[in-house]
Amino acid sequence: MSAFAVDVRNLRKSYGAVEAVKGVSFSIQANEIFGLLGPNGAGKTSTLECLIGLRDPDSGEFWISGMDARANAQEVKGKIGVALQSTALQDKLTPREALTLFASFHPKHDDVAALLERFGLSEKADVAFEALSGGQRQRLALALAFVNRPEVLIFDEPTMGLDPRARQELHAEIIGMKAAGHTILLSTHHLDEAEKLCDRIAIIDRGVVIATGAPRDLIAGSQAVQTVAVRCDRSVPKDWFEQLPDAREITGSGDEYRFATANATLAVSELTRRLAENGVGIVELQVRKASLEDVFLRLTSGGNL
């Protein structure tokens, strides 16, 4: 028995001599959006496929909604909703027909008309799948995942290939799902998406979990640096920047420079003092904080958190 909505313990999966998942463990609280991140080939999809029953793990345990998912596979399937990277349905099948079909697989299911309305598909209810846009197909995938009134939702790259507007619409849907009390496991390559949506994340690299925590905590506790960009009203020598405390990765010339630093406050203070002493004005100054992408790249390239 597990108190977590999802609890994965020492999951392993190999394909011949290739060990894709090497003892992955993580847990998800009820009503949490949890992100699963990692580079291509890290083991994310294999982990998800084991969780939803598409693949048999070699070893390990995982619990969903308090039940041993391996011992109670059929019952657990009634408690999860799944949307994979792409939804492929028969070309002439309409959203109404697809939802009606999927609803027939479950003793308890949501009303088809209500699902069409909730996911903005009422006007496209009787349009063939082949005529739907990418965003409409993804909304249909989410509607299909909701047919059985799931407690836990598992999404694998749900915004892949969508334009910015469709991505934003899908983000709003996912946030709404959490507000309605659902638990969400989200795999994504969009690090800005994970930083925006997820309460916590796990980063997988080469089949193992290398970091877990809230995005803001991972960023705050990392050695990832801030970036400072400055444009002056006239040219200045590069050695002024080279002499700044903790300035590194200095690029630029003339009146525009960019550098990285772990202490932007100190570096910018010294820079503005030097510029003022020499009568140089600042036309533009930008300080960009370290992001989840900075942390991700540092960790998955073998750096330290």
* pLDDT tens string 276-285: 999 999 999 9
Rounded CA-CA distance 281/272 in Å is 9
Rounded CA-CA distance 290/262 in Å is 9
**One fold for 6-214 and 226-289:** no
What is the side-by-side strand order in the sheet with 256-261? 248-253, 256-261, 226-232, 282-288
Residue 107 clears pLDDT 90, i.e. is over it:
no
225 pLDDT band, cuts 50/70/90, is: confident
Class of domain 226-289: alpha beta
pLDDT at position 305: 46
CA dihedral sign of residues 83, 88, 92, 93:
negative
Stated pTM of the model: 0.81
How does 105-141 read in b/e, with b if 16+ C-beta sit within 10 Å?
A: eeeebbebeebbebbebeebbeeebeebeebbbbbbb
The DSSP annotation for 214-240 comes to: -HHHHHHTS---EEEEEEESS---THH
Q: Summarize the chain as % helix, strand, coil (round to 5).
A: 35, 30, 40
pLDDT at position 300: 86
The domain 6-214: what is its CATH number?
3.40.50.300
Beta-bridge partners for 257: 230, 252
Hey, where are the domains in the chain?
6-214, 226-289
